[in-house]
Every structure is written in C-alpha cells, then in structure tokens.
Structure 1
Amino acid sequence: MTRLEPPALVSPQQARTLFRSGTDVPTAGWAPGYAQANLVCVPADWAEDLRLFCERNPQPCPVLDVTGPGSFRTRLAPDADLRSDLPRYRVWENGELIAEPVDATAFWRDDLVTFLIGCSFTFESQLAAEGVPLRHIEQGRNVSMYVTNRPCRPAGRLSGPLVVSMRPVPAALVATARRVTRAMPAVHGAPVHSGDPAALGIADLSRPDFGDPVRAEPGDVPVFWACGVTPQAAVTASRPPFALTHAPGRMFLTDIRDEHYRTG
C-alpha cells in the first residue's frame, strides 16, 4: 500500500486527478477545508431500502447527494467521475467482497444509484484549528474504525451494526472536540461515545476492523464518532446481489467547503 503525505495546498480537483491516475492513499488531511464523502452504490431496486436506512440512521448515514440510476456525476463536484476519482473502491456480490480496484469503471452498471454520505474527515480541519491533535494524520495512518455492538434501525431489506471511527483526544480537549463536531451534523456530528471502548463492544483498540491502529499519547481518551462505513456493514449483513463502495478511509473529495456543513 502506497503511503503519501497529504500535500498541504492540494485542491480537490488536483487530488482527484492523482487518484484517477492510481494514487492509492487514505484521504485524511487531503484538500483541507473541503468536504469529503463516503460512497455507496446499489442497484436501483435496492435504492429505496438504502434511502430509508439512511433516513432512519442519520448519524452514521447523513446523505449529501443521491444520483440518478447509472449516473457517475454529482453536484458536489460536477467535473468528477465517481467511477475513477476515489483512491480505491470495494466491489460486493451477495455481501461478499470480491474486488478492491483503484478504478471501478469496469464494474459500473447502468442501474446503479449512488449515495454520497457525509464523512468525519470533513470536520478535522476545524478540530485542528481548535487545537485538537489528529493522531492518525500525525502518524501517517488511516483512521481506526470498529464494528460495534449497537444495531442500526433496519429498513426494508437492510440491517446491520453501527460502525464508528476513533480518534485519541487529550482529555482536556474532549469537550472541545464534542462542541466542534456537534455543529456539523451533516458529517456525523457529535461523538457517540468517549472513554471505555467495551461500552461499544470493542475488545481491543489495537485491532480495528477497518483502517489502521492509531497510537494514543499519554493523557489521551478514545473518542468515537458514527462512521460512514456503516452501510458496508449493512451490505455484509444483508447481502444485496451487488454493491459498490469506497474503501474505508479512501473518500470522495468534493468541491464543497466544509463550512457549508457547519450549523454554528
């Protein structure tokens, strides 16, 4: 897996060009100040199930845009190609992961409806501006993500557990992190939990289900946010015949400024 430090001044358009050419990296820290999005594509006859699943579980699945069947364009970045402009994709058949391509064009279908879901990377610029360290970026790692023991509300044929991302935060700054992110509900909002990971059914923080283990510094507290990988857990549990998603931590970079999703 390629490791590449996020360029400080890269634009979303420049980043998408790099990803289209095969650069495969976690997108945390890329194009700071611009919103990032999770990607979930399902056949049109599953789209209503996914729409309702997102509606019933708005914290892990806040919808930013939904395309028409077969469209690979989005109003979030009109010149982008959703088939090729993410660092890496995941392809699913009957709930089984069958491929992880850097370009999904060969797997694209004319009946796919794409949901772009808010991502917690969007609020990281504001966290940094408020002095909250981002340990995964400091360590050059993907954020840690975990499947929890909390079930999402089922919708139609879709059900599954909540997935969370974790960031170690100095204890004195947990309240700041909560305040900053609570003002951005379109990108997951406030944490769902802080402190003992066992309360979420997480046995070992050093063994995330997705992403990389991130080292805490002395005095850090694990803080957990709802995560847009949750629909992938629903795909695994509910086994739709086909789905296409982003690879965890490798997001779609939009042209929308992150403050657009700030409510206060």
Structure 2
Amino acid sequence: MTDARSIVSSPAALRAQIRDGQFTGPTAGHGGDALQANLVILAGDDASAFLRFCQANPRPCPLLAVGEPGDPTLPTLGDIDLRHDVPRYRVWRDGALADEPTDIAALWQDDMVSFALGCSFSFEDALTRAGIPVRHQTAGRNVPMYRTDLATRPAGRFSGPLVVSMRAMPAADAIEAITICDRFPLAHGAPVHLGDPSEIGIADLHAPDYGDAPDIRPGDIPVFWACGVTPQAAITAAKPALAITHAPGHMLVTDIPSGQAERRLTGVHTG
C-alpha cells in the first residue's frame, strides 16, 4: 500500500490507486501541482442551506464545483467518481461521526449533492518550488488543523468556528508565503493569521484538533490558513440526518493544475 514516502505525481494514477484500495493516506505532496479539494455531500434541503453557508464564507469554503443531485461525478474537475476517489471519507449521522470508510458506494442516494471546496494542499507545490519548507510533508505527517474562536457567518442551521491549518516556517519565509498563497484564492488564499496562536483561540499547537502534531523547528513561526475542514465543524452543529465528507487531509485530487484554477473555474460549476 502506498505510504507518505512514495509520492504519486499523476492525479489520474493517484485516483486509480485510491479506487483500488492501494492508497488510503493523506494526499499532501501527491498529485504534483494538481488542485486538491475538500468534499461535502448532503441531501435535499441540507444541500441548499450548505450552499448558502459556502457563499457566506468563501475564505474557508471556496466553491470549485457543485454536483447535480444524484450524480457522483464532477466533470469540470476531471474523470472523478466521488463514491470511490477519496482515500478516506467521514460519515456523519445527526451531526456525530459514525464511520470513516474508504468507499461510499453503498451509502450513495439519488438526492445527494456534492460540493468540492478548495484546499490549501494545492499551493504547497508552489511553496516547495520557492524553497519554503512544508514540514508536514518532509516529516511524512498530516497537516495540523485547529478549531479557533473565530466564528463563521451562519446560514440556516449551518454555523460554527473557523478551522485553520498551520504550517511552521522560518520567519523570513512567511512574507513570501503570503505573497505566493494570495495567488491561490481557490485554495484559501493568503493566511488569516501568523504568530501567537492564542490570539485566535488555540491553546496548544502540539495538540491539533485534526491531523498530526506539527514539526516546529527553532526560528519557525506558525502561519495559519482558513481550512476546508470548517464545514465539518458546521455539520456537528447543524446535525443533518446524513452527511459525508473527506477525512481531514485525505483530499479529492482533481485534474486541474493549481495555477490554472482561476482561469478554468470561475464561480460555482455544476457537475
């Protein structure tokens, strides 16, 4: 089975391994410069309310594509079948985490609507090419993610805290990272905070709410980006009867190069 040290550079090859059950780990560093996506799947009125939540909170929830009801494909993003192409999913029932399967074909319903949301993994290739360390990749870990005390804008039943991902880097690299990531608004754009984590309600950097503990070196400062796990916090508050998401760090890898996302994906696309 492919592990974090065996890099898969082709998005299509990576999805093929995921479909065959040969890749079940975090996708950071895999797929080359491909745009990666968070996933939320809801049905009926819950889907309509969640669309409004995304529109009210574009920083953590940048919409890449919205599927047609009952259709598990997203043609604008590639040859994708959402029932099989995420390495690990989360199944939520009445707002509680019920399971983390590697395939959701048995759960698919005719009224389900899928939402692909931008992911910060999409700009990590650009950071690496600029010589900025991406420490969770080199350590073979999942990115650390934290619930903050910053509130999202509610929409219907959906509300909750902003979740952020964190990358520690030398202070001298932080300004360049901001400049680079600002060019990727569909991957959350520039950081929302850098420096003291307590200013956004994070008590202990070494105890993330999602993902793995960070690799922080002497001279590093923490840099925080809005994170597409934010909807999972909103799902726990909204308590829909059934919701399906990606497991944090286990993303949908698309066929869209990250540098072309703005040109090829303008606004909300239906599948």
User: Structure 2 CA distance, aligned partners of 1:77 and 1:62?
Assistant: 14
> 1:260 Cα shift?
1.2
Indicate yes or no: 2:117 matched with 1:117.
yes
> 1:31 Cα shift?
1.0
The match for 1:81 is 81
> 1:245 Cα shift?
0.3
In the alignment, is the contact (CA less than 8 A) between 1:66 and 1:115 conserved in 2? yes
> 1:77 Cα shift?
3.8
In the alignment, is the contact (CA less than 8 A) between 1:169 and 1:222 conserved in 2? yes
The match for 1:70 is 70
Look up the SS of the partner of 1:19 in the other structure: helix
User: Structure 1 CA distance, aligned partners of 2:96 and 2:2?
Assistant: 25
The TM-score, its normalising length taken from structure 1, stands at 0.96
The match for 1:165 is 165
The match for 1:215 is 215
User: Structure 2 CA distance, aligned partners of 1:225 and 1:256?
Assistant: 21
User: Structure 2 CA distance, aligned partners of 1:72 and 1:262?
Assistant: 24
User: Structure 1 CA distance, aligned partners of 2:168 and 2:76?
Assistant: 30
Question: Which runs of structure 1 show a deviation greater than 6 angstroms over 4 or more consecutive aligned residues?
Answer: none
In the alignment, is the contact (CA less than 8 A) between 1:38 and 1:251 conserved in 2? yes
In the alignment, is the contact (CA less than 8 A) between 1:183 and 1:262 conserved in 2? no
> 1:6 Cα shift?
4.2
> 1:241 Cα shift?
1.2
Look up the SS of the partner of 1:71 in the other structure: coil
In the alignment, is the contact (CA less than 8 A) between 2:61 and 2:118 conserved in 1? yes
Distance change >3 Å, CA 171–CA 262, structure 1 → 2? farther
The TM-score, its normalising length taken from structure 2, stands at 0.94
The match for 1:201 is 201
Look up the SS of the partner of 1:35 in the other structure: strand
1:187-245 superposed Cα distances (whole Å, 9 cap, x missing partner): 10000000011011111111111000111111110000000000000001111111000
Distance change >3 Å, CA 72–CA 36, structure 1 → 2? same
The match for 1:19 is 18
User: Structure 1 CA distance, aligned partners of 2:211 and 2:262?
Assistant: 26
In the alignment, is the contact (CA less than 8 A) between 2:65 and 2:77 conserved in 1? no
The match for 2:93 is 93
User: Structure 2 CA distance, aligned partners of 1:154 and 1:81?
Assistant: 30
Look up the SS of the partner of 2:225 in the other structure: strand
> 1:47 Cα shift?
1.6
Look up the SS of the partner of 2:70 in the other structure: coil
User: Structure 2 CA distance, aligned partners of 1:198 and 1:4?
Assistant: 31
> 1:4 Cα shift?
3.2
The match for 1:4 is 4
User: Counterpart amino acid of 2:115?
Assistant: F
Q: CA RMSD in A?
A: 1.4
Question: How many residue pairs align between the two structures?
Answer: 262
Aligned sequence identity (%):
52
User: Structure 2 CA distance, aligned partners of 1:213 and 1:76?
Assistant: 35
In the alignment, is the contact (CA less than 8 A) between 2:90 and 2:245 conserved in 1? yes
User: Structure 1 CA distance, aligned partners of 2:58 and 2:25?
Assistant: 27
The match for 2:268 is none
Look up the SS of the partner of 1:106 in the other structure: helix
Indicate yes or no: 2:239 matched with 1:229.
no
User: Structure 2 CA distance, aligned partners of 1:114 and 1:6?
Assistant: 30
In the alignment, is the contact (CA less than 8 A) between 2:84 and 2:104 conserved in 1? yes
In the alignment, is the contact (CA less than 8 A) between 1:149 and 1:161 conserved in 2? yes
User: Structure 1 CA distance, aligned partners of 2:128 and 2:4?
Assistant: 20
User: Counterpart amino acid of 1:213?
Assistant: A
Gaps in structure 2 of 5+ consecutive residues:
264-271
User: Structure 2 CA distance, aligned partners of 1:36 and 1:57?
Assistant: 19
In the alignment, is the contact (CA less than 8 A) between 1:67 and 1:74 conserved in 2? yes
In the alignment, is the contact (CA less than 8 A) between 1:144 and 1:214 conserved in 2? yes
User: Counterpart amino acid of 1:12?
Assistant: P
User: Structure 2 CA distance, aligned partners of 1:44 and 1:180?
Assistant: 38
User: Structure 1 CA distance, aligned partners of 2:249 and 2:225?
Assistant: 14
In the alignment, is the contact (CA less than 8 A) between 1:6 and 1:27 conserved in 2? no
User: Counterpart amino acid of 1:11?
Assistant: S
User: Structure 1 CA distance, aligned partners of 2:260 and 2:6?
Assistant: 22
User: Structure 2 CA distance, aligned partners of 1:88 and 1:239?
Assistant: 21
In the alignment, is the contact (CA less than 8 A) between 2:33 and 2:125 conserved in 1? yes
